[in-house]
Structure 1
């Protein structure tokens, strides 16, 4: 139940294998066991009182905490340098619980126009019905002007570190400074980058979100999400009264009601998500799915490094192709985001790129129908290479004017580079281009 994180000096590649897990505490099992149980016996009545009173760390019920899930939470928190983490049943659950937790009771979220289609559509359809207004920033790429778009009711700024599908990069450091000047947190969806390529907390982010379905797990076999917090943001302000609200369920041994800030001073945000939103909305990650994400993390560095290598080679190939109108990949010289990529992404800018197909709609569809090695579907971050026409699929929820704001033209095709030999991937694209032209 409690999320007590390791604080060691181990480096990234050691943490992805070892953080949050001590074999001697689990019958010396080398791999974290799958604790496939609904609930946990109490030693005695006093033990039950201590657990329910949050005076002792332990497990009560798998909906709010499970040993396998806890290892995942602690491991990703260690990789990101976070003070707290919570794993959930999907990336969308991570987004929704984050925004509801921050803007509870109403408020505004200032966001980037460069977002995953599901995020953008939910911002339009769902949150306004809960009193939360989403404002799309006109100056997200000009942080010096961003202050003009923050209102007294703005509760947070929300961005993606590498956007889906166009791989837009933002100056996260500058945006964080603006957010903090106004006493609001910066939320960063770091799904494409993963902590291997980018650490949002080190650049000023207060909350980090992952769809662990993608690069973190990396094998296209699990749906999962994570929320992490930096432990640095001051939630004890009039703008966020919910964190100072005292609850009977958090009472001390003398029956004094307490707040999340009092009980969980290092991780009030994720703890509040756990005991309020996860507890009662119930998007719990199963132990088996947590185990699958843990397996994926064990090869995170090698997978992402190879995907970056393949993505860059594919971008360079496409950049000079006669059937390609443009290529969007920050690792290409000439990209408007190349300088940011060089400054903030020393290990590369991920495995996702986009290009504009030069030709008719019919030719574009023939091209997509002709690929043999690429998988045509909507996931990203898989070990297999994937391809999709985002404007008609992942961003098909967006109306024409919304696609224009997000700079998603109808001829955009997104690639998520996998681990195959890049020569085979290029050959597959080439034969598909030829069929589209004939």
Structure 2
């Protein structure tokens, strides 16, 4: 969006269109599978990709395009594509970079749904993943890069324990090795962190979370920085000539080659279509992102302060409450570190069960980024498929409860959490 407008203005206006027929100021829902061709030759041009007019809604719907452009604008990127879910965004982003036999580096702190996909379907498709500690130094990351490495993957704020990746360090690794940095920025949102400013090439979002904000729609987004050199030998599918003598994606789109390939090949062929009705709701959520994130952050800090002082709580996990991360948090997240707060209860699993079942205001459910405060015992749900030793290695202790702090009055959230903690065991259970 031109004009040098601030974030709060762009979250309302960036990418907007005014409907040509009715003049609607709010982006309409274009509920259509396809679009009428002007004539025979127009159809040829559209399907050859030589026309700016759209051909099909599988990968090009006007409502979706507005939402994608707005997210790209807020992240500081050049292009974005909406897909059906956050998981679909991860899969599509990596499919647009790698093929069977390729290697991808990740941090060892990933959302469990991502870890399941890495160990499961993506591994079965021939991608090799290697994890490094999230706090590994720059030289260790550089040394781990192979000729077959196609991406470095990290979460800006890891879910559920809040470890913060040093994106500036990973951005330097990307610049030194020519391997693009891919960042899942769901928990931070572009209001708190913009990975492109630290050297990332691709940003991923589960738009179901804070971007949408109301827990009403599932969706995902992949954003291209427009600054990475996709003509490198690592990406022959982007720089090699296309069939029938067509120019390569790098020749035609330059630094925007990745986004063009993602939209016109990966999304078109795999078909993880995002419904325009969901894009309409997503746009309404994005319009208040800054206001909501300020409240989310303030409420999370109130929850952290209250629970850290409670005798039934052994430990609180949140980036703002971790002295070991203070330096990197200060650099990466100066305006706040999100609103996911995880607590370890002294009474273990039994205490977690009692605590969750006593909640009255807070909803017990799997989701984050909602206007409502939510809580869940991850060890028996999200991480329930893991062996106990695997959970412990990830920091998922028997008494761990993840809380996604919402927008209710902070005093009310704290009061509900404290009444649910009342009378819980104050000692760790015997091993």
TM-score normalised by structure 1 residue count? 0.93
1:297 aligns with 2:297: no
Match of 1:306 in 2: 295
Whether 1:57 and 2:52 are equivalent positions in the alignment is yes
Corresponding position of 1:268: 257
- Kept after mapping to 2: 8 A contact 1:104/1:242: no
Provide the residue aligned with 1:232 in structure 2.
Answer: 227
Cross-structure match for 1:183: 178
Give the deviation of 1:8 after TM superposition.
4.3
Q: Check conservation: 1:121, 1:397, Cα contact below 8 A.
A: no
Output the CA distance in 2 between the equivalents of 1:202 and 1:8. 20
CA distance in 1, matches of 2:72, 2:234: 26
1:332-372 Cα offsets, whole Å, 9 max, x none, are: 3x532222222221221111111111114222211111111
Equivalence for 1:358: 346
- 1:78-116 deviations in whole A, cap 9, x for unaligned? 111111110000010100011111112421111111111
**1:65 counterpart SS class:** coil
Matched, 1:431 2:419: yes
Runs (5+) with no aligned partner, structure 1 = 1-5
Using a 3 Å threshold, how does the CA distance of structure 1 residues 24 and 99 change in structure 2: closer, same or farther?
closer
1:325 offset after TM fit, Å?
A: 0.5
User: Where does residue 106 of structure 1 map in the other structure?
Assistant: 101
Q: 1:72: Cα distance to partner?
A: 0.5
Q: Is 1:246 aligned to 2:238, yes or no?
A: no
Give the stretch that moved more between structures: 311-320 or 141-150.
141-150
398-407 or 317-326, which moves further after superposition? 398-407
Give a deviation string over 1:399-435, Cα, whole Å, max 9, x none: 3343344332232111111011111111111111115
Contact 1:84 1:266 in 2 (8 A): no
Greater CA deviation, 274-283 or 159-168? Answer: 274-283
Q: Tell me how large the CA RMSD over aligned residues is.
A: 1.7
Which residue is 1:323 aligned to? 312
CA separation of 1:278 and 1:139: change in aligned 2, threshold 3 A: closer
Which one of the candidate residues 69, 73, 82 is aligned to 2:68? 73
**1:357, 1:364 within 8 Å by CA — same for their partners in 2?**
yes
2:185 is equivalent to residue 196 of structure 1: no
Distance change in 2, residues 1:140/1:242 (3 Å): farther
Return the alpha-carbon distance in structure 2 between the equivalents of residues 389 and 291 of structure 1: 32
- Give the Cα separation in 2 of the matches to 1:173 and 1:50: 43
Aligned pair 1:147/2:142, yes or no?
Answer: yes
User: Between Structure 1 and Structure 2, how many residues are aligned?
Assistant: 426
Within 5 Å, which residues of 2 pair with 1:38-53?
38-53=33-48
Secondary structure of the 1:264 match is helix
Q: By how many angstroms is 1:139 displaced?
A: 5.8
Q: Distance in 1 between matches of 2:314 and 2:21?
A: 56
Equivalent residue, structure 1, for 2:356: 368
> Is 17-26 or 149-158 further displaced after alignment?
17-26
In 2, Cα distance between equivalents of 1:10 and 1:37: 33
**In structure 1, distance between residues paired with 2:310 and 2:297:** 20
SS in 2 for 1:15: helix
Alpha-carbon distance in 1 for matches of 2:396, 2:143: 26
State the match for 2:156 in structure 1: 161
Q: How does 1:380-419 map to 2 (within 5 A)?
A: 380-419=368-407
Change (3 A) 1:325 1:110: same
SS at match of 2:401: strand
In 2, the alpha carbon distance for the partners of 1:266 and 1:180 equals 15
User: Secondary structure of the residue that 2:342 maps to in structure 1?
Assistant: strand
Measured in 1, the distance between the counterparts of 2:246 and 2:196 equals 32
Query: 1:282 aligned to 257, 265, 271, which one?
Result: 271
Aligned residues of 2:174 and 2:199 also touching (Cα < 8 A)? no
SS at match of 1:158: strand
- TM-score w.r.t. the length of structure 2 is 0.95
**Mean alpha-carbon deviation: is it higher for 143-152 or for 411-420?**
143-152
Whole-angstrom distance in 2 between the partners of 1:103 and 1:236: 15
What SS does the corresponding residue of 2:16 show, helix, strand or coil?
A: coil
User: Do 1:108 and 1:153's aligned partners in 2 also have CA atoms closer than 8 Å?
Assistant: yes
Q: Name the structure 2 match of 1:116.
A: 111
